[in-house]
Copies of this chain bind each other. A is one copy, B any other.
Amino acid sequence: MRDRVTLADVAKVAGVNPATVSRSLNEQTENQVNKETVRRIRKIARELGYTPNTVARGLRTRKSLTIGVVIPDLTNPIFPPLVRGVDSYLLPRGYSAFVVNTDGNSETENTLINSLMERQVDGLIIATGHGGDEMLAEFHKRGLCAVMVNRESPGAPFPAVTGDDSAGIGVVIEHLAKLGHKNVLHIAGPAESSTGRLRSQAFTAQSKKHGISGKVAKTNFYSIEAGQSAMDKILENKANPFTAVVAGNDLLALGVYHSIRSHNLNIPKDISVVGFNNMPFTQDFQPPMTTVDVPHFDMGVEAARLLLSQFDSEERAPIKVTLPVSLIVRGSTGLVS
């Protein structure tokens, strides 16, 4: 793209100083310029096809109007809605989002965050579950603006937006208790992720509260494969008394589906299964999945809102926003036979 029209080009045609053009085109400063001149300059700018150079502006103003969004993996279907939520708040306000994928690798995460800083992002929205806590603390000291989403940040007092994991697990256990389940298995998400830990803790606490015998199996990733292999291991042990499985998220739950199916067992007749997130397509699985709806789009909106609100205010309180979740009962849970 060559021969771009610059402020100076417009100024030359209009016979004025570039400064005047700059002021005329900016709504904040146009009142410093004669109304008639503004009209004339705007017209010329339009005719010449002038487009401001955001890069040059960013250099001078020290604002890039760009936000970095750090997620583990875009192909996990909970993230696209979250990103869209972020976008929906940022775009009308002149901001754009840079989305990067860490694949759960904290080294990759460091590299990518650094690359985002080099690109002068004004702030970060971080949705990765684990890693980089010491780096975040370092960044916080240096005055970086960031908001955590779907996670906490023990080391750095950034604001955080999360779903109500604890309450979500609560309604799940309550639901299973009502159906008569006494022995429930939790396929927990990775312990390095705060959602993994929180849901696991809540599971143990709530089980006890409802007089349910709750056991926990661990996984290293939030993925279908991890869920399947964890469940496979459980089912190999013939003498398992479980009548229901609470998975750390929907992907793990889907892995559990695969495992149960491959062992010629029936959901929910033999084993009930519950997911977490209500990601797209869970209602189309066989059977439709009972899960906990988490408002990911809204989480994105809220995170973006919090981040931008930090730019104005000097104080940076470690605000915590917890969004309500709700149980979606479908066909994967049933009465104990």
- Chain A interface (Cβ within 8 Å of chain B)? 1-3, 51-56, 58-59, 64, 66, 73-75, 77, 79-81, 83-84, 87, 96-101, 114-115, 117-120, 142-145, 254, 257, 280-281, 284-287
CA distance A98 to B74 in the complex (A): 14
Give, as a whole number of angstroms, the nearest-CB distance from A270 to chain B. Answer: 18
Pairwise interchain contact A143-B55, C-beta atoms closer than 8 A: no
Pairwise interchain contact B142-A1, C-beta atoms closer than 8 A: yes
Given contacts A2-B143, A81-B75, contact A51 B281 (CB under 8 A): no
Given contacts A1-B144, A285-B286, contact A77 B77 (CB under 8 A): yes
Give, as a whole number of angstroms, the nearest-CB distance from A251 to chain B. Answer: 10
Give, as a whole number of angstroms, the nearest-CB distance from A149 to chain B. Answer: 16
Pairwise interchain contact A74-B64, C-beta atoms closer than 8 A: no
A138 nearest in chain B by CB position? B49
**Contacts of A115 on B, CB cut-off 8 Å?**
96
**Contacts of A145 on B, CB cut-off 8 Å?**
1
**Contacts of A1 on B, CB cut-off 8 Å?**
117, 142-145
Q: For A75, give its contact among B84, B114, B254, B284 (CB under 8 Å).
A: B84
Given contacts A64-B55, A117-B1, contact A280 B75 (CB under 8 A): yes
Give, as a whole number of angstroms, the nearest-CB distance from A120 to chain B. Answer: 5
**Contacts of A99 on B, CB cut-off 8 Å?**
97, 99
Q: For A84, give its contact among B55, B56, B101, B286 (CB under 8 Å).
A: B101
**Contacts of A286 on B, CB cut-off 8 Å?**
284-287
CA distance A74 to B66 in the complex (A): 19
Give, as a whole number of angstroms, the nearest-CB distance from A8 to chain B. Answer: 14
**Contacts of A74 on B, CB cut-off 8 Å?**
74, 80, 83-84
CA distance A55 to B54 in the complex (A): 9
CA distance A257 to B1 in the complex (A): 47
Pairwise interchain contact A120-B75, C-beta atoms closer than 8 A: no
CA distance A284 to B228 in the complex (A): 14
A142 nearest in chain B by CB position? B1
**Contacts of A118 on B, CB cut-off 8 Å?**
51-54
CA distance A45 to B272 in the complex (A): 58
CA distance A59 to B83 in the complex (A): 28
Q: For A281, give its contact among B114, B117, B281 (CB under 8 Å).
A: B281
The 10 closest A-B pairs by CB, nearest first: A286-B286, A74-B80, A75-B80, A54-B118, A281-B281, A55-B120, A54-B119, A284-B285, A55-B58, A2-B143
CA distance A1 to B77 in the complex (A): 32
Task: Give the one of A66, A77, A114, A118 with max B CB within 10 A.
Answer: A118
